[in-house]
Amino acid sequence: MKFLQILAIGIAMCTGMVGTADAGNGILQQVEVSKGKKTKTFTQIITLDEERARIDFARADPRVDGETPYIMTVDGGETWVKGDKPRDEYYCTSMQTNAFFRTVGQRLADAIDLYNVSAEAPTVEKTLEEPGPEILGFKTTRVPLETRAKAHAWLLLVRFEYEVTIVEDLWYTTDIAIHPIRERWLNAITQTGNDLIDQYADAYISKLPGPVLKTEMTMDIADLRRQKVKRRTEHTVYTEVEEVAPEVLDQVFTMPAYQPMSDDEVEERAKALFSARRLML
């Protein structure tokens, strides 16, 4: 049901945090996503300095061309440009960070009202905290988290009931500071105006005091009436960090022609970002 898709987006916005680095760096992150018998591997190419950040969503081969999807900010994360090909044409749209997440929150509220959904606030439980291995030279701490959420609705006297369970192993580091752009993104996620999202985001973020360098995640969406479960697994890890010359940074952060993102596009863009694990910076 549509309300469940939007609820899953709200839950997933805080999972799979991408780490950060000092100014003028390029970072490679490998991502493997499995749904049923299908597995996809792709690479996220992250470029950032103090005020600018860009993530190119390449395939397994980390090459970028004129139609590689990306998101980019050049004003410290206040606004973002997203380039992609949602239909038959590649084009760029812009979004204001806080407005984008407020719209996502409102769409979730609208879906809940439309389908007369009763939804419980997601819970987040930290089951352990222990030293982890070094990743890219940084000391890490391993934290397993378990997230649960339930929702049900009535349609033509039939009760539909779903449960979402996310089990994650996360390796975070406190050797590097949280980037200001990432802080702005996190603040926006906790101020959507939707209590379900905001409370969950606060609970999740409070358990991770530093950037996450590696994740192993399993998400189960259970249809309790039909006793069916859809499973999604994902592994992410940073594999390379390198310095980027100033002249290369200026080329990477060249602003394209773009159009404002309409409210009708926000849900579609949010689903696309969620499907590739891209909503969390």
Interval 223-277: pLDDT, tens: 888 899 999 898 988 888 888 899 999 999 998 888 888 766 766 666 665 554 4
Confidence (pLDDT) at 13:
47
Domain locations in the chain? 2-275
Asked whether the beta carbons of 44 and 56 are under 8 A apart, the reply is yes
d(CA 199, CA 270): 19
pTM: 0.80
Phi, psi of 100 (to 5 degrees): -60, -50
Helix (H, G, I), strand (E, B) or coil at 274: helix
Confidence (pLDDT) at 229:
92
Where does the pLDDT of residue 180 fall: very low under 50, low under 70, confident under 90, or very high at 90 and above?
Answer: confident
Model confidence pLDDT, tens digit, residues 148-169: 988 877 776 777 888 889 899 9
CA distances from 134 to 34, 168, 210, 238 (A): 26, 19, 14, 12
Model confidence pLDDT, tens digit, residues 47-103: 988 889 998 988 777 778 888 888 899 999 899 888 887 666 777 888 888 888 888
Identify the bridge partners of residue 49 per DSSP, sorted by sequence position.
none
Asked whether the beta carbons of 28 and 19 are under 8 A apart, the reply is no
d(CA 5, CA 218): 17
Confidence (pLDDT) at 273:
58
Asked whether the beta carbons of 204 and 124 are under 8 A apart, the reply is yes
pLDDT at residue 23 greater than cutoff 70: no
At residue 64, what is the residue type? Answer: V
What's the whole-number mean pLDDT along residues 125-154?
91
Confidence (pLDDT) at 126:
94
The pLDDT mean for the chain works out to 81
pLDDT at residue 9 greater than cutoff 60: no
Confidence (pLDDT) at 114:
66
pLDDT at residue 107 greater than cutoff 70: yes
Q: Work out the angle at residue 202's Cα, subtended by the Cα atoms of residues 154 and 281, and round it to the nearest 5 degrees.
A: 100
Where does the pLDDT of residue 115 fall: very low under 50, low under 70, confident under 90, or very high at 90 and above?
Answer: low
pLDDT at residue 11 greater than cutoff 50: no
pLDDT at residue 38 greater than cutoff 50: yes
